Amino acid sequence: MALAVPSAADEVRMACRALVQTTEAESAEIAAAGADLAKAAEGVSDAGLNLRLHLRLQTLMARIQTDAESSQAGRIWAAAQNLAELLLVVGKFLDRAPEPHWAEEFPPAVCGLAAVRMEFSNLVSVLGWPPPPDQFGLKEIDQALHSAGQLIDPAPEAPLCQYLASARRDLVRPTHIAWIESHLADDHEPSPSPAQVYCWYWNETLGGAALDLAKVAEAAATASGLAEAMGLNEVVEYLRDPDRVAFYGTINILPATPTRWTLENVEAANSHLHCGLDRWYRRPLKASLVPIDLITGVLRTRRPYYYHRMLAHAMMQTVCVQRALPSGIVADAIVGKLAVSCDLMLDSHRLRCRYLPRLKTIQGWVEYLNALVTLHFPDGQQAPCALSGNGPTIYAALAKVLYGRPN
């Protein structure tokens, strides 16, 4: 399986030009910065420069978006986005509802979820409305969104926020391609395998060259043996091809560009896991997940996510990092953070298997979505997303495999 690496410079140029057009009426300084980046991108030929342009553009756009969302119109826009997306997703979900009565009964069931109520309460609070009633539906959400639209329509921050949110998300994949290009010679033939790119990623993250194709294959085999011992047949099957797992992790989980870790900063692994979870749930640029993200993601796909794939990658990733890091207490702590995240994916996989037959009913959907949110936010929905599951099932087993001891 070869990993295609088309040029990524065009996306930078287009995004810079669009940034100039979007911001020139509101901020000559921002427009000028965008124009400078667009001009610099015209002559891009060096792969390293291409990557630097992507990163500069992402940084610039993030700063502008933060400033725009700090205004009153920006705060209203930000509070409305999750609910607007949920409204759209539920509508598409009902277009293929199994029975006619779903169109009448499913929306109030979704609105009864605590995560949806929390988002709606936040929106009406920003609008200055009284708290929502105990029972509300999509009609009330739509009315609030309509009012929000009327309030922010005259403000320039709203279209700016909309453009930046979309453009930054669309640039994640081109930024990753630019990072791959920065590792290639001018005459790169054939294209690198996904496992080779995976090695580049982790060697850059860990600051060395300890990981190679043989060690990735060894890590996949170790993870597969553990999964087989635990009766995780889908995970075993997925781990048969290390290239497939590496490709899936690179495209769907790992942050677009590596962040250098040091043994003095154990929290870098924690940040890496949060970013990976955000990206997997299709929120690659959010600071952290919120409960409604899980609900919207599952309803968008019309089925639970394939957690066995995430679990396979999490297990292989943990073994790879353990093999690459020098031994020591801090290295063990870093590997421990990666290992406990496997339990979240294991519990999510088991939750999927348990509830999948029940998703033919509205009540089954409600129970599954509530259980999924509770699993990811065990300390309450106001707390950050947890990175570990209900119990150290895989963590204890991995520790025994990696270190020859049970914990």
Q: How many residues does the chain have?
A: 407
Q: What count of other Cβ atoms lies within 10 Å of the Cβ of residue 41?
A: 23
For residues 285 and 242, what is the distance between their CA atoms, to the nearest angstrom?
27
Domain ranges in the chain?
9-71, 72-154, 193-403
Sequence-ordered alpha helix ranges (H) in 207-290: 213-229, 233-238, 242-252, 267-280
Residues 95 and 348: beta-carbon distance below 8 Å: no
**Which pLDDT score is estimated for 86?**
94
User: How many Cα atoms sit within 13 Å of 110 on the Cβ side?
Assistant: 27
For the chain, the straight-line distance linking the first and the last C-alpha, in angstroms and rounded, comes to 37
**Which pLDDT score is estimated for 6?**
45
Q: 303: exposed, middle or buried (C-beta count within 10 Å: 0-12, 13-18, 19+)?
A: exposed
Residues with Cβ within 8 Å of 233's Cβ and at least 6 positions away in sequence, in order, are none
CA 113 to chain centre: 22
**Which pLDDT score is estimated for 64?**
76
Residues with Cβ within 8 Å of 231's Cβ and at least 6 positions away in sequence, in order, are none
Could you state, in chain order, the average pLDDT of each consecutive group of 10 residues for the chain (407 residues)?
48 62 60 62 58 77 79 89 93 89 94 94 94 90 93 80 80 82 68 91 87 94 94 96 95 88 81 90 79 95 95 95 84 86 93 95 96 93 84 77 63
**Which pLDDT score is estimated for 37?**
58
> What phi, psi does 404 have (nearest 5°)?
75, 20
- Of 25, 82, 31, the C-alpha closest to 61 is 31
- Pair of tokens at residue 362: 């509205």
**Which pLDDT score is estimated for 370?**
96
Question: pTM for this structure?
Answer: 0.85
- Of 175, 194, 243, the C-alpha closest to 8 is 175
**Which pLDDT score is estimated for 396?**
78
